[in-house]
């Protein structure tokens, strides 16, 4: 089986590897634009764009991708609080504002995944949601975290797998989804492609 991950996220690669899936990485470089506004539809649309972009890039590089046992995985993750989607911060000040929004309350993390099997002509998109509750944080804790290196490449300005973990009170749902990819769900969906 040939797996292609259409993401440059080292966290997604690690999550797949942990469940026994070892993909090659191919970033399509598509511009992420969506007209969707609901978080679960946003992540599914963007994951689809990434997977389709990688599929097109493979066709361009190799002539065709319609070979048996090739599966392309695209993924996207957003953090949502009060219906507002929080993307990746562009500055430490923006990260500080995002952390202030989620401190002391519950927010949602949505990951969308698209799997394409070009040979079979199959494509499927799905989304997972996890509720995350953050302990109250002092102004100093918010500032110190926001001005560290950790939040700058992460949706919602935090990484649950890093030292922000000390502020997580509880999660309701899939932990790996919060890291960036619902790895167990990906494996289960891949199984349906194989039967």
pTM value is 0.92
At residue 119, the pLDDT reads 82
CA distances from 26 to 12, 57, 166 (A): 13, 8, 33
Q: Where are the domains of the chain?
A: 2-194
pLDDT digits (tens, 9 = 90+) for 45-59: 999 999 999 998 888
24 vs 113: CA distance, rounded Å: 16
Q: Is the pLDDT of residue 164 over 70?
A: yes
How are beta strands 84-86 and 106-117 bridged, if at all?
unpaired
At residue 65, the pLDDT reads 62
CA trace torsion 124, 190, 63, 67 (10° rounding): -120
| Coil vs helix vs strand at 180 | coil
Tell me the average pLDDT of the chain: 93
Domain 2-194 has CATH 3.90.950.10: yes
Which amino acids are annotated catalytic? 76
CA 159, 163, 164, 166 torsion: positive or negative? positive
At residue 74, the pLDDT reads 97
CA distances from 126 to 65, 81, 96, 129 (A): 23, 21, 31, 10
- How many angstroms from the chain centroid is the CA of residue 154? 9
């Amino acid at each position: 089986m040939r797996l292609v991950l259409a993401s440059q996220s080292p966290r997604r690669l690690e999550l797949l590897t942990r469940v026994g899936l070892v993909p090659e990485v191919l970033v399509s470089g598509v511009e992420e634009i969506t007209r969707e506004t609901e978080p679960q539809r946003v992540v599914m649309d963007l994951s689809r764009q990434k997977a389709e972009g990688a599929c097109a890039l493979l066709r361009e590089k190799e002539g065709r991708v319609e070979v048996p046992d090739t599966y392309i995985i695209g993924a996207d993750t957003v953090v949502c609080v009060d219906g507002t989607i929080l993307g990746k911060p562009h500055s430490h000040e923006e990260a500080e504002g995002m952390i202030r929004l989620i401190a002391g309350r519950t927010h949602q993390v949505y990951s969308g995944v698209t799997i394409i099997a070009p040979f079979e002509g199959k494509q499927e998109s799905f989304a997972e949601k996890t509720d995350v509750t953050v302990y109250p944080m002092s102004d100093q804790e918010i500032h110190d975290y926001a001005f560290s290196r950790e939040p700058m490449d992460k949706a919602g300005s935090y990484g649950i797998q890093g030292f922000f973990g000390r502020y997580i009170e509880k999660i309701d749902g899939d932990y790996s989804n919060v890291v960036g990819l619902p790895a167990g769900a990906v494996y289960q969906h891949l199984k349906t492609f194989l039967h």
